[in-house]
Amino acid sequence: MNPLCLMVCNAKICTSYSLVKVFMSLFYASFMVDSKF
């Protein structure tokens, strides 16, 4: 594998991981708000 493809694959994994983290934190925040009210 050439380094460019490796960089692109790593960027895709990093972006998908950050998206998952954002969605999980949003879901957790909405869950906490729902449990409070």
Look at residue 27 in the predicted model and tell me its pLDDT: 93
The pLDDT assigned to 31 comes to: 87
Read off the pLDDT of each residue in 16-31 and give the average, rounded to a whole number. Answer: 92
* CA distances in angstroms from 9 to 5, 17, 20, 22, listed in the order given: 6, 12, 17, 20
- Which element (helix H / strand E) includes 22? helix 3-36
8 HSE (CA, 13 A, CB side): 4
